[in-house]
Structure 1
Amino acid sequence: MGITENTLEKLRMTNLGLKILLITLICSCFFMAVAWLGYNTVYQAEVFLPIHTNIEFFCVFVALSTFTVTWYSYLNNCSYYSYFIGLGLLAVGLIDLFHFYSYEGMPHIFSQACANKAMLFHLWGRLLLSVTFLASVFLYQKQLCFIKRFRISMLAVALLVVGIVFATVTWFPHLYPPMLSSGQNHTHYKTIAEYLIIVVLLGAVWGHLRLYKKHMDGYLQLIIAILVILVFSELCFAAEYSSYDTLNLLGHIFRFASYILIYAAIFINNVKRPYLQLVAAREELARSNSLLEEKVQERTKDLQQANEKLTWAASHDFLTGAINRLEFSGRLKILLENSQPQDVHCVIAIDFDSFKKINDTYGHAVGDECLKTFVRAAREVLRPSDSVARFGGDEFVLLLPYTPRAGARVAGEKVRAHLAKIAAPPFTISMGIAAWPADGRKEKELLNSADQALYLAKEKGKNRVE
């Protein structure tokens, strides 16, 4: 008994639930170990910044690489879902770039680096990432092939958002509420922002769970895992009390893990999956070509067999299998054209004795069997190079190449003797021999001479060779 669709759906949902539970347990263990068991430590800038910079640089690299993959793959798959995530990751990657360059202790590139600016960039980047995944829920499996100009316009909008965030945070940070107090402690505004991001991420998790239940796409499992890890990353950032402590570092490590999965998910959906589909399509095409070739070969074989049957039917008698008069004339013509003056060939005209009586006594079906019996008897005793031709009714002619008259008589007697053994009902035949070139050099002359010899055999009592 096969598994029903409903059972399969439940098994897949259970599998996903176990994966989410496993991720939650692992992340919870790390979070509780740092937050509640006293493993939270504040690091020196020279220790923290290299680790932080490498993680952020990796995240930026993955974000920009993901955008590149979705930008070019969109030309083929028109997946607005992946394209939208790619645009969001482009914006997040650029803002994260500004974030780690604005970290206190980093060189002053865009403006004076400070913890508040770094915090604002970080919050903006994570908020845009969470909003991107939440909004993408409504775009799943939508295929919108925009013209190039519109795609560039959408890219321009994403870059415009990045530009606005960069300008306001870099040169107008007073437009935002302070994220750090004068004592470098996190303000309640920062905490509210962190929990707002968590709420948006949980909404994205819920939306993607509904998508997975509906579509059962394994790709969505990766997206859900990414979002769960990002939730724990935000919990770390919300619980931290210093930008250089272990909770902050753990939050970045969770982000590092989530970005690995982001790249894997986008790669699977936009590169690996189409490639596997292409391989499958190629294999299916190969199978179709193979089947088509087999069908063509089969049809060709059928046509060849049909042509062979037609060719055979054009040159043979349908009832007995003997060659017909046209084929006899062709073979005789070729034989005579290739003959030397010293060569001798014979033809034997044959007629059944009292064939009408057989038909009247036993019926035409038995008469037909007698005709077949004669042809079989002749072929069993004659050479492969000899030919048995049916001219019509019970009239047959044997063509014996390179055979003198004496040899033809021996052959005729063999046929007559063998026929006497196998004929049922018994019947006899009379034969008349004509030799080339003695009795004629042309077909008509040879056949006339053979007929005259046949009449002589009939006059002498039938069932003989003359």
Structure 2
Amino acid sequence: MKKNRHYYMLLVTAISMILLLTCAPFFHEPLVKLLSVVSYITWHSIFEFSSIIISICIFCVAYYSFEQNRNFRNLFLGSMLLLMAFIDFFHTMTYKGMPVFLVPITTSNTATTFWIIARLIGGFGLLAASIIPTGLKFRLNKVFFFILPVVISLLILNLVIYHPGVLPLMYIEKEGLTDTKILLEAVVILSYLFAVLFLIREYRESRDRTLMLLSAALIIGIFSELSFTLYVDVYGVYNFLGHLLKFTLYFIIFRVTFIQNIKRPYLDLSIAKDEIKNYADNLDRIVEQRTEQIKQINQKLLDDLEYARDIQLSMLPKKLPNSQNAVFEACYFPADRVGGDFYNIFKINETKIGMYIGDVSGHGVSAAMLTVFLNQSVKAKKDNAHGGAKEVLLPSEVLKNLFLDFNETEFKSEVYIVMLYGIYDLETRDFTFSSAGLNVPPLILNASGEVSELSIKGFPICKFPNIQNVEYHDSTVKLKNGDKILFYTDGLTDAENTQKNQYSDSRLKGQLQKNKSLSTSQLTKLISDDVFRFIGCGKPQDDITFFVMEVKR
């Protein structure tokens, strides 16, 4: 029912017009008695000038809103109605009984001729407007749609006033309308009818109610034209009714163009304004909800980092394998909650101590997972059985096995590990080591205060599955009683202060030389204090990890 209500509106309009036209003769005598010729001319002029004003308003609305809505249909319709307004003005001024306009008018034919010309223009104009797409593109300046009606109206004025014999008669005194006038009114009615059909077809696609409102107006226009075919006396009831219905037609057209060009954009703007206001009113609540969600997500991330930190710390040695032959002391300062550095010092057997130090790519959870992988892999590879007897794997063998295992994992290609793995023999004082890309060499501090570097080179542990013959090389150094070795990562020497100056290996060597007599615990504390004193109020940009081994005997 609701879907078809606009069709019912057209039906009700048509039935109402039929009833009105049928009952009109009953009001002829009362109208003639009520209105004199003078008063009728007054009412006629009021209706006509009202229609003229409405037509001009329709044109102005369409003309001045065109730049915003680009509605060519309304601009064309407004231009046609402006032309009708000019001709209706000529019709009104030449109406029988009006003052002289340009030349004396003695018959009703002149006014009737202007009338039918205006109706034909309106009929074909409304028919064309119902076919024209609203968004039709054109290159003409909109001023053209003002100038053209002015020029055409002046040509028609000249033709009807000064060359009346060129056109056929439309009205004969005491006889009424001619067949030509009635036929032309039928043409106008048909143009209105076809316009209604085109508008209904468009309504089925767009469901724009203004199209049905315009269709109802055209139905009223059809019965207005029928009224003008039925009158005999220009002061009769059908002529009066025709003018009344014509005024109604123009008013509804004005309402449609006003809705489409002025009211609807403002309604859309008002709706958008209300939506923005509602959004603004709810913005604080939405922001608060989003903030709470972000806090929860952030807290979950922090909790995950804490778990990763606990995992990583559990991989570090809880107790160092100190003995009468060797003493160890370590320091670990992660830059983030979960760092990328790692180290371990462990007892292989009664005479050998294993140790490694290094750095994995990145920080956070990924670094923790790499540390777990490294710790488990080294633990599995540090001993290997040969012929039933346990033999200690050389550092180079451990690193090679680690490289091969790493390339069998699902770690991404940008992930890598750099490290140094070494074994110290407590009996022979031999330190055997191999490097997998560690970029800072361990420093040996002897009892006399001399500092030397261990020569290291090697391939990082990274994703190169096509390389199966990668080789790592072992080096051995003979240590003496009182020698100390400092193992560290680049986070120590690359630490920067607020002036972007680095701590540097030269400063580190200087501290070792000046404090050669300190114990391992004293030396590690001194290095820690010195590097953080150098950094100042800033925060380390990378992990700081190092440990010291001292040969006792």
TM score, norm. by length of structure 2:
0.51
1:91·1:159 contact (CA, 8 Å) conserved in 2?
A: yes
Distance (Å, rounded) in 2 between the aligned partners of 1:306 and 1:16: 54
1:379-394 aligned at under 5 Å gives the runs none
2:28·2:236 contact (CA, 8 Å) conserved in 1?
A: no
Q: Out of 11, 33, 49, which is 1:21 matched to?
A: 11
Q: CA deviation at 1:131?
A: 1.0
Q: Which residue of 2 aligns with 1:265?
A: 256
Distance (Å, rounded) in 1 between the aligned partners of 2:39 and 2:284: 68
Q: Which residue of 2 aligns with 1:130?
A: 123
1:37-436 aligned at under 5 Å gives the runs 44-113=36-105, 114-144=107-137, 150-183=141-174, 185-287=176-278, 296-301=287-292
The answer to which structure has the higher helix fraction is 1
Partner SS state of residue 112, structure 1: coil
**Change beyond 3 A, Cα 1:40–1:127:** farther
Q: CA deviation at 1:257?
A: 1.6
Partner SS state of residue 99, structure 2: coil
Q: CA deviation at 1:291?
A: 6.5
**Change beyond 3 A, Cα 1:213–1:299:** closer
2:116·2:185 contact (CA, 8 Å) conserved in 1?
A: yes
Distance (Å, rounded) in 2 between the aligned partners of 1:207 and 1:313: 68
**Change beyond 3 A, Cα 1:307–1:17:** closer
Distance (Å, rounded) in 2 between the aligned partners of 1:153 and 1:37: 45
**Change beyond 3 A, Cα 1:298–1:225:** same
Q: CA deviation at 1:225?
A: 0.6
Distance (Å, rounded) in 2 between the aligned partners of 1:39 and 1:232: 21
2:27·2:237 contact (CA, 8 Å) conserved in 1?
A: no
Q: CA deviation at 1:96?
A: 0.9
Q: CA deviation at 1:25?
A: 2.0
Q: CA deviation at 1:284?
A: 3.3
1:96·1:121 contact (CA, 8 Å) conserved in 2?
A: yes
2:74·2:134 contact (CA, 8 Å) conserved in 1?
A: no
**Residue type of the alignment partner of 2:247:** F
Distance (Å, rounded) in 1 between the aligned partners of 2:209 and 2:299: 58
Q: Which residue of 2 aligns with 1:343?
A: none
After the TM superposition, which of the residue ranges 236-245 and 43-52 deviates more from structure 2? 43-52
**Change beyond 3 A, Cα 1:30–1:176:** same
Give 4+ residue runs of structure 1 displaced > 6 Å after superposition.
Answer: 304-315
**Which stretches in structure 2 are left out of the alignment for 5+ residues?**
311-524, 526-553
After the TM superposition, which of the residue ranges 70-79 and 292-301 deviates more from structure 2? 292-301
C-alpha offsets along residues 83-110 of structure 1, whole Å, 9 cap, x if unaligned? 1111111111111111111101111133
Sequence identity (%): 27
Q: CA deviation at 1:159?
A: 2.2
Q: CA deviation at 1:111?
A: 2.7
C-alpha offsets along residues 205-261 of structure 1, whole Å, 9 cap, x if unaligned? 121121122222100111111100011101110011111111100111111222221
C-alpha RMSD over aligned residues: 3.4
1:77·1:143 contact (CA, 8 Å) conserved in 2?
A: no
2:75·2:145 contact (CA, 8 Å) conserved in 1?
A: no
Distance (Å, rounded) in 2 between the aligned partners of 1:266 and 1:52: 25
Distance (Å, rounded) in 2 between the aligned partners of 1:179 and 1:156: 29
Q: Which residue of 2 aligns with 1:30?
A: 20
Q: CA deviation at 1:162?
A: 1.7
2:51·2:250 contact (CA, 8 Å) conserved in 1?
A: yes
Distance (Å, rounded) in 2 between the aligned partners of 1:302 and 1:38: 80
**Residue type of the alignment partner of 2:68:** N
Distance (Å, rounded) in 2 between the aligned partners of 1:185 and 1:306: 90
**Residue type of the alignment partner of 1:61:** I
Distance (Å, rounded) in 2 between the aligned partners of 1:178 and 1:309: 94
**Change beyond 3 A, Cα 1:184–1:48:** farther
Q: CA deviation at 1:312?
A: 11
Distance (Å, rounded) in 2 between the aligned partners of 1:167 and 1:259: 26
Distance (Å, rounded) in 2 between the aligned partners of 1:217 and 1:309: 53
**Residue type of the alignment partner of 1:26:** S
**Residue type of the alignment partner of 2:116:** L
**Change beyond 3 A, Cα 1:251–1:293:** same
C-alpha offsets along residues 406-429 of structure 1, whole Å, 9 cap, x if unaligned? xxxxxxxxxxxxxxxxxxxxxxxx
1:34·1:40 contact (CA, 8 Å) conserved in 2?
A: no
**Residue type of the alignment partner of 1:69:** V
**Residue type of the alignment partner of 2:181:** K
Partner SS state of residue 151, structure 1: coil
**Residue type of the alignment partner of 1:273:** R
2:52·2:89 contact (CA, 8 Å) conserved in 1?
A: yes
**Residue type of the alignment partner of 1:24:** A
Q: For this pair of structures, how many residues does the alignment match?
A: 312
**Change beyond 3 A, Cα 1:188–1:36:** farther
Q: CA deviation at 1:154?
A: 2.9
TM score, norm. by length of structure 1:
0.60
Distance (Å, rounded) in 2 between the aligned partners of 1:251 and 1:20: 19
Distance (Å, rounded) in 2 between the aligned partners of 1:219 and 1:140: 15
Partner SS state of residue 195, structure 2: helix
**Residue type of the alignment partner of 2:229:** A
Partner SS state of residue 183, structure 1: coil
**Change beyond 3 A, Cα 1:154–1:257:** closer
